[in-house]
């Protein structure tokens, strides 16, 4: 497979390729370009030329919105093959991949409709002056994607950037980029002018770093690990580019003694096993009020013991982990927790009939009261849940805020005052009350604090992140 530069599919300058492996079977099913700095430079040059020509940013916002809506319609026509490709490439169950494509379509529909709704302001100022505040595109934006939701992430980062009139260079992850390449092809057919979207595949430390370091990139949107996010921010700072970072979390479900357990338990399980736990907003901690600790833990244990991992067509609760390396990272967390004496409360199972070459990990539930342990604080990015007890409301807040992350949290209680108090005091970009997750909530601003990153995606907030505010002060004769 090739790179998309200035509307044409071209091989990487050095001619090198990387294998795409099916995580359920270990089989190589495609090759992608292993691009270098030269390819990134060509893509950034194409994006800059497109921006400077005004072919996209000088269109009316309504016109840009129409192109995005056409793109959404083309994706919808190809939804089923795209979902099948996403399932093959990432290992997620087909039903999850279908949901991802539905969300992707919604991103382009939403931002297609939103393109002409980000109004400026007229500010009252001195007599004889007219002051307007307008929102303009950055120029060239760079987008570095993770492998866990390639299709959804394509929509999440690109749709608002394009709606604002930016010209873009996108680097998907090494693993999980087949759907992205198909989508780039469809974007061409939807009428996106040449050079407005350029897609370069390759290794992070080579192609990703070249994009983050490129002096002609005005803004970077990154989703992935905190380690690389920090590097990307430093590289962007070297040429004074802004960035948004979405870096994952250790998000809690906080379960009070008045919660409806029958409602909460299945949601808590889904919040960690969805996408095999490879979700930035996974509910990877469950904090349980002491009076119901044993009861809630035993109900969770029963639910966990019934959970399964399997290939996409088996429609198990989780698919495989994306790569062998990432699987070893997950099993490493599990082994270290067990070696430290952390109690395994329940273990799901890997279904019979899966390939031994697949990267399957059984869902696991741990419990601990060691709040500083690795398993209680660090993101595993696998189907591993840890339960911890808390004593009262103040302790729940302390424990919820007790990691370096702050992405999302859920509060399970019927007490209205407590719902309000906790939703204000728990750190995070989204707080759920008696529910969990808003993956498909395209209209809801999303993002983290601390080690979870900064900037906001989704909703109208993303249009602000992908634009520059300019104030125009006009003095006229009175
Ligand atoms: P990563 O951060 O290494 O990769 C994410 C993206 O960054 C990929 O496109 C990669 O090619 C690129 N990249 C890697 N090194 C780079 C560099 N030096 N400069 C610029 N770009 C670079 O993530 P990973 O190794 O694939 O996964 C490791 C961990 O990251 C996971 O265990 C998980 O904790 C976290 N992660 C989080 C998310 C999320 O949604 N927040 C997604 C994927 C992974």
Check pLDDT > 90 for residue 176: no
User: Where do the domains of the chain lie, and which CATH numbers do they carry?
Assistant: 3-248+453-473 (3.40.605.10), 252-404+408-442 (3.40.309.10)
CB 147 within 8 A of CB 133: no
Check pLDDT > 80 for residue 440: no
Catalytic residue among 167, 177, 243, 280: 280
pLDDT at position 247, please?
Answer: 96
Q: pTM score > 0.85 for this model?
A: yes
Q: What is the rounded average pLDDT of the residues 429-445?
A: 91
pLDDT at position 152, please?
Answer: 96
Compute the distance between CA of residue 20 and CA of residue 293 in angstroms, rounded to an integer. 44
Q: If we measure between CA atoms, which residue out of 364, 454, 441, 464 comes closest to residue 407?
A: 454
- 280: annotated active-site residue: yes
Label residue 439 by pLDDT band (50, 70, 90).
Answer: low
Residue with tokens 């109208």: 460
Characterize 241-256 residue by residue with b for buried, 16 or more Cβ atoms within 10 angstroms of its Cβ, and e for exposed.
bbbbbbbbbbbbbbbb
Per the DSSP assignment, residues forming a β-bridge with 5 are 8
Per the DSSP assignment, residues forming a β-bridge with 255 are 288, 412
CB 436 within 8 A of CB 253: yes
pLDDT at position 259, please?
Answer: 98
Which helix (H) or strand (E) element contains residue 303? helix 293-305
CA of 364 relative to ligand 1 center, distance in Å:
24
Residue with tokens 């996403």: 86
204 pocket-lining for ligand 1 (C-beta < 6 Å): yes
Q: What is the rounded average pLDDT of the residues 248-274?
A: 97
Characterize 53-90 residue by residue with b for buried, 16 or more Cβ atoms within 10 angstroms of its Cβ, and e for exposed.
eebbbebebeebbbbbbbbbebbeeeeeebbbbbbbbb
Q: What is the rounded average pLDDT of the residues 130-153?
A: 97
Which helix (H) or strand (E) element contains residue 386? strand 384-390
Name the least confident of 17-31, 96-110, 360-374, 386-400. Answer: 17-31
pLDDT at position 286, please?
Answer: 98
For 212-231, how does the pLDDT look when each residue is reduced to its tens digit (9 = 90+)?
999 999 999 999 999 999 99
246 pocket-lining for ligand 1 (C-beta < 6 Å): yes
Parallel/antiparallel/unpaired status of strands 408-412 and 252-255:
parallel
Which helix (H) or strand (E) element contains residue 242? strand 242-246
As a whole number, the mean pLDDT across the chain is 96
- 294: annotated active-site residue: no
pLDDT at position 456, please?
Answer: 96
CB 441 within 8 A of CB 431: no
pLDDT at position 365, please?
Answer: 98
Sign of CA dihedral 371, 362, 180, 29: positive
Q: If we measure between CA atoms, which residue out of 420, 409, 411 comes closest to residue 449?
A: 409
Query: Residue whose CA is closest, atom 13 of ligand 1?
Result: 204
Check pLDDT > 80 for residue 69: yes
Label residue 157 by pLDDT band (50, 70, 90).
Answer: very high
147 pocket-lining for ligand 1 (C-beta < 6 Å): yes
CB 40 within 8 A of CB 3: no
CB 428 within 8 A of CB 406: yes
208 pocket-lining for ligand 1 (C-beta < 6 Å): yes
Atom of ligand 1 nearest to the CA of 144: 9
Check pLDDT > 70 for residue 303: yes
Q: If we measure between CA atoms, which residue out of 151, 147, 205, 172 comes closest to residue 32?
A: 172
Compute the distance between CA of residue 384 and CA of residue 326 in angstroms, rounded to an integer. 14
276 pocket-lining for ligand 1 (C-beta < 6 Å): no
pLDDT at position 315, please?
Answer: 85
Atom of ligand 1 nearest to the CA of 379: 34
């Amino acid at each position: 497979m090739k790179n998309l530069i200035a509307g044409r599919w071209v091989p990487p300058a050095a001619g090198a390729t990387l294998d795409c492996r099916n995580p359920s079977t270990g089989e190589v099913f495609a090759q992608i370009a292993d691009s270098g700095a030269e390819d990134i430079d060509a893509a950034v040059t194409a994006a800059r030329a497109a921006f400077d020509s005004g072919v996209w940013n000088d269109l009316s916002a309504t016109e840009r919105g129409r192109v995005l809506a056409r793109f959404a319609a083309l994706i919808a026509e190809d939804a089923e093959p795209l979902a099948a490709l996403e399932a093959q490439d990432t290992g997620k169950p087909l039903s999850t991949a279908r949901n991802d494509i539905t969300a992707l379509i919604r991103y382009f529909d939403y931002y297609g409709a939103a393109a002409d709704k980000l109004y400026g302001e007229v500010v009252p100022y001195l007599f004889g002056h007219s002051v307007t505040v307008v929102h303009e595109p950055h120029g060239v934006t760079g987008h570095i994607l993770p492998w866990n939701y390639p299709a959804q992430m394509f929509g999440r980062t690109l749709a608002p950037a394009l709606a604002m009139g930016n010209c873009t260079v996108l680097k998907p992850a090494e693993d999980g980029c087949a759907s992205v390449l198909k989508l780039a092809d469809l974007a061409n057919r939807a009428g996106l002018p040449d050079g407005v979207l350029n897609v370069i595949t390759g290794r992070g430390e080579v192609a990703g770093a070249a994009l983050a370091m490129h002096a002609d990139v005005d803004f970077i949107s990154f989703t992935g690990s905190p380690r690389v996010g920090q590097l990307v921010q430093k590289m962007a700072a070297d040429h004074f580019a802004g960035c948004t970072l979405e870096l994952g979390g250790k998000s809690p479900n906080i379960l009070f003694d008045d919660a409806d357990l029958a409602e909460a338990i299945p949601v808590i399980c889904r919040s960690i096993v969805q996408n095999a736990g490879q979700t930035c907003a996974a509910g990877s901690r469950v904090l349980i009020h002491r009076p119901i600790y044993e009861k809630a833990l035993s109900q969770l244990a029963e639910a966990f013991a019934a959970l399964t991992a399997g290939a996409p067509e088996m429609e198990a609760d989780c698919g495989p982990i994306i790569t062998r390396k990432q699987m070893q990272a997950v099993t490493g967390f599990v082994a270290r927790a067990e070696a430290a004496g952390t109690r395994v409360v329940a273990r799901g199972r890997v279904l019979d009939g899966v390939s031994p070459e697949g990267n399957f990990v059984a869902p696991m539930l741990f419990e601990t009261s060691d709040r500083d342990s690795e398993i209680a604080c660090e993101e595993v990015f696998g189907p591993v849940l840890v339960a911890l007890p808390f004593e009262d409301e103040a302790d729940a807040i302390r424990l919820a805020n007790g990691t370096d992350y702050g992405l999302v949290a859920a509060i399970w209680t019927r007490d209205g005052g407590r719902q309000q108090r906790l939703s204000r005091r728990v750190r995070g970009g989204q707080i759920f009350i008696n529910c969990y997750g808003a993956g498909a909530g395209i209209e809801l601003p999303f993002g983290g604090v601390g080690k979870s990153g900064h900037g906001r995606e989704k909703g109208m907030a993303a249009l602000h992140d992908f634009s520059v505010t300019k104030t125009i002060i006009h003095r006229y004769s009175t």
